[in-house]
Structure 1
């Protein structure tokens, strides 16, 4: 139950990133966040049962709407740590694809659990003028009253803001995934990790 709750909180939190992607725009960040969350969730409205039965449609929606907001190459490098430096170009490409598919499945399924009984409080983005690395914060309140802080770290890539790390509560995405992956790499090697991820998280995309 806790894992599922974290999944949908994180999934919704990913959708909150758009305000930070448009810091220079006149529209207030909290307004942009509400519009973005509503846009994603409205495309799922009345279709949750259908999307559960046809997960490929769900994965395509997440891939189209949310994945472009993530700096996948850099995040992949961070979560692999030392293994990234010794990986072949082919292994890096395959890991990045498998990692993307893992995120699509995990947070796409998490979004299916979100409903209107949850509340999101958006925090103002505070950054120095000209900053190229910012933190975006929000607080998600579940239907049982539990408040969970959500943060995302973003930096500029080719003129656009993209996520490279974040946290739900005190759990950093990068730190969490790095610990999981490094443990598997130590026991079976990088190639085995990639093959396992490719087998488990193939979205068919």
Structure 2
């Protein structure tokens, strides 16, 4: 259940930020979450005939905060350096599609979860935003966002829920498949999985 609502949390910022001021990591996360909540709460977008428009809007919102290249490289770990530039580009695209297809549907299960932002830690170009999620049934768990500043923008490269890292989870799976069956088999499995999710 926790991983089902993770996407909506990845992606509420009421205060305006001056144009000359770079948003803080927390403001960046909150702004994106607010946009996703707006999309899934829009009565017009909830209509069946607007499904494609809703999904496209969600993917755009997700993409605004995810750094897919960083996530891909960190998930591949030592195997990343073995890929050619063309393979890296293809893998990032495939990984992006997988995450989008995987999370777009799950985001729509949003059910008024509340997010309490607790702490922000900045260390050079890296930052971590720590938060707590409270469900309608008052269940609580931790959710931390790890970000990197690239070109003046904070982007999420990992999410840790109850101590479990999204990137580490993928890294373990990817390493096992590559070690046992090879990189091409990983690509095949990811492509198949992405299509299965998209058609679900």
| 1:84 corresponds to 2:80 | yes
Aligned equivalents of 1:183 and 1:49: distance in 2?
41
Aligned equivalents of 1:75 and 1:120: distance in 2?
23
TM superposition shift of 1:144: 2.4
Task: List alignment gaps of at least 5 residues for structure 2.
Answer: none
Aligned match for 1:123, one of 118, 125, 133:
118
Change in CA separation of 1:188 and 1:16 when aligned onto 2, cut-off 3 Å: farther
Aligned equivalents of 1:74 and 1:33: distance in 2?
17
| 1:6 corresponds to 2:3 | yes
TM superposition shift of 1:95: 1.3
Q: Who is 2:71 aligned against?
A: 75
Q: Secondary structure at the match of 1:101?
A: helix
Task: List alignment gaps of at least 5 residues for structure 1.
Answer: none
Does the CA-based 8 Å contact 1:15-1:36 persist in structure 2?
yes
Aligned match for 1:195, one of 182, 188, 193:
188
Aligned equivalents of 1:29 and 1:92: distance in 2?
27
TM superposition shift of 1:31: 7.0
Count of aligned pairs: 191
Q: Who is 1:150 aligned against?
A: 143
Change in CA separation of 1:138 and 1:94 when aligned onto 2, cut-off 3 Å: same
TM-score (norm 1): 0.79
